[in-house]
Amino acid sequence: MPELAGLRCLVTGGARGIGREIARAFAREGADVAILDIRIEQACETADELELFGYRALAIAADVSSETEVRNAIEQAERAFGGIDVLVNNAGIIDTAPVVEMSTEMWDRMIAVNLRSVFLCTRAVLPGMTARGFGRIINISSQLGHKGAPNMAHYASAKSAIIGFTRSLAREVCEDGVLVNAICPGAVSTDLGGDIPDDLRARRLAEIPLGRFGHAAEIGPTAVLLAGPGGSFYVGATMNLNGGDVMV
């Protein structure tokens, strides 16, 4: 039997990159998958692909930094599937600037999309999960949440805060049957990484003991582990898939 048979999952930022590969991995393992993404055309393409695995897939347009749009989108997913068992908070943006040149708007946008969204989406799904006595929340952080990076203080701050949120919420809701964990990918080759300057990209590559960037598809199996029966004893964990860049 597929590992995630019967589970109803929602992946934010699932139209491309890591989110898309997690959605694919979930569908391969028997889950129904809702994709919440601001890029609705790409989300619909991904949903169409997921349905080929024989399970339900749904694309929903939403800005994950908007309280109203998140609430409406998750209500739509819950109506379509009858509930959400697994939430993957993956949506995010990335850009770079030294702190002295970083505008307040740039900082606020990073925090809104990469951190506020985690709170909003989690808060929206928790009542249903706790009422059923079962849920899995997987937050996508980053190895930069552990180590930081020059010109990325806003990004590293948001990702570090996700780890703190994960650990705190894990203690808060585990007795209700909701397990909360984080995945901290290292440098992964995705469309999102195209916003990273070449010199920073080269420096990042030189720091990785394995000598290469990761592939988005390499993140999916860990998400499946945390969502499925094999993840039943993980509480507040941070899974570090980074080629040895950060060893904790």
Is residue 55 part of the annotated active site? The answer reads no
For residue 185, which amino acid is it?
A: P
Q: How many angstroms separate the most distant Cα atoms in the chain?
A: 54
Long-range CB contact pairs, 122-126, < 8 A, 24+: 122/87, 122/89, 122/169, 124/70, 124/71, 124/74, 124/75, 125/10, 125/74, 125/84, 125/87, 126/173, 126/178
Residues in the chain: 248
List of residues 6+ apart from 61 with CB closer than 8 A: 37, 38, 40, 43, 73
- Contact status, residue 215 vs residue 188, Cβ threshold 8 Å: yes
- Contact status, residue 47 vs residue 57, Cβ threshold 8 Å: yes
Given the residues 26, 55, 81, 155, the one annotated as active site: 155
- Contact status, residue 245 vs residue 143, Cβ threshold 8 Å: yes
- For residue 111 the two structure tokens come to 């925090």
Catalytic residues, by residue number, are: 155
